Amino acid sequence: MKFTHIILILISIVLVNIGCSNEFQVTEGQTEIPVVYGILSSQDTATYIRVEKAFVDENISASTLALDPANLYFENISVKLRHVSSGKEYPLQRVDGNKEGYKRDSGIFANSPNYLYKITRNELAFVPKQEYKLVVAKNDGNILTESSTKILTPLSDAKDDVGPKPGTMSFGYNSEFQIVWYPDENSVIHDVILVINFDETKNGVTTARSLDWTLTSGYSEKSGSSNSYSLGTRGKAFYEFLAGSLSPNESGNQVSRYFKDISIKIISGGQPIKDYINIGLANIGITSSGEVPVYSNMSNDARGIFSSKTQFFRSGMTLSKPSLDSLRSGIITKKLNFQ
């Protein structure tokens, strides 16, 4: 499962638990609890932050309340990002995510409108290692909630941040394939994915295909005392993954495949994301109570997460000749009919 998917799934669990719980009288009197989700990246062309409110009513079921957008969204609030060192503030504009190409998944909550708060890179270009504060306030100036994060520095081939270097990959059956990367000190949790690209021909029709091989998800084990990470896997696992993901060439399924290249993808997140995932996963499983602990790094008893992420992507990695030979004619993958 991809790192971003883990975050989205866990935040949806927390949103459901808060929104439907009868333990929190969050709309009694003038009290409203914000629920915030914001992940900043210097690589994004636009940033979207979700700001909603928790709700409960002793006389109306949560499933009914969830269908009314008035119960989900604040009116008359401002959402700003502040560059901490300069003090300069940048207001975000409320938009309908459905019209921005980000449709809300169907579920218990109303999916239209899908209000988000947006700012583009032209309006605010995040600077790596700089700190930014999210401020959600009522129009009278009262702060509903706020939180700060430092922008993560992207990994770079220009600085040799990721090994193996651009070029050729080798997957020997009895050898270890290793990826090493050197993120900044605030990048503490990582997904590492190999994207295997190939062409597939069936019935005379050729289609470009790719497979995501997730080597690790939520990885946070440093290599020694330095701020480096190392991940190793058996070379044989590469062929086993392909054999388990693709149908063999046989009667009734005549197929030919042509290997193209491999891309390396590393998605990294800050400490709040690591804490959020670890706390969320701590009580999910066969021995758990079934209750998901609430994690939040938002002030004033608000719920949610505000942090930073970054993504490294390198395309065009080829296979060594011995690895190509193993792919084509090795015992594990020869039935896949790679040419």
Q: What is the 3-state secondary structure (H, E, C) of 129-158?
A: CCEEEEEEEECCCCEEEEEEEECCCCCCHH
* CB 236, CB 332: distance < 8 Å: yes
The pLDDT, as a whole number, for residue 62 is: 59
Record the tokens describing residue 144, joined without a space: 């509903």
Sign, CA torsion 117/119/124/127: positive
Q: Are 116 and 48 in contact (CB under 8 A)?
A: yes
Phi-psi region of 176 (alpha: psi -120 to 50; beta: other; left: phi over 0): beta
The pLDDT value recorded for residue 166 is: 96
Q: What residues does 74 pair with on adjacent strands?
A: none
Measured distance CA(155)–CA(180) in Å, rounded? 11
Determine whether 296 is exposed, middle or buried from the number of CB atoms within 10 Å of its CB (0-12, 13-18, 19+).
buried
What is the structure's pLDDT at 17? 38
Q: What does the alpha-carbon distance between residue 222 and residue 66 come to, in Å, rounded to a whole number?
A: 42
DSSP for 79-90 reads EEEEETTT--EE
In the numeric block, the tokens 């942090």 are attached to 307
What local confidence, expressed as pLDDT, does residue 30 receive? 40
pLDDT values of the chain reduced to their tens digit, one per residue, 339 residues: 344 444 444 444 344 333 333 333 444 444 578 999 999 999 999 999 999 988 656 666 656 666 677 778 999 999 999 999 999 999 999 999 999 998 877 666 767 899 999 999 999 999 999 999 999 999 999 999 999 999 999 999 999 999 999 999 999 999 999 999 999 999 999 999 999 999 999 989 999 999 999 999 999 999 877 889 999 999 999 999 999 999 999 988 899 999 999 999 999 999 999 998 888 665 545 444 445 557 899 999 999 999 999 999 999 999 999 999 999 999 999 999 999
How far is residue 6 CA from its own chain's centroid?
7
How far does Cα 267 stand from its chain's mean position? 7
Residues 6+ apart with CB under 8 A from 175: 234, 235
- 182 vs 174: CA distance, rounded Å: 27
DSSP code at position 208: E
CA atoms of 13 and 318, how far apart (whole Å): 40
How many CB atoms neighbour CB 112 within 10 A?
12
Radius of gyration of the chain (CA): 23
Report d(CA 296, CA 95) in Å as an integer.
Answer: 25
pLDDT of residue 263: 98
Residue located via tokens 């009278």: 140
Q: CB of 266 within 8 A of CB of 181? A: yes
Number of Cα atoms under 13 Å in the Cβ half of residue 187? 27
Say how many C-beta atoms besides its own lie within 10 A of residue 25's C-beta: 12
> Is the torsion defined by CA of 80, 85, 87, 89 positive or negative?
negative
Q: How far apart are CA 225 and CA 276, in angstroms?
A: 24
Answer yes or no: are the C-beta atoms of 261 and 270 closer than 8 Å: no
pLDDT at 291: 52
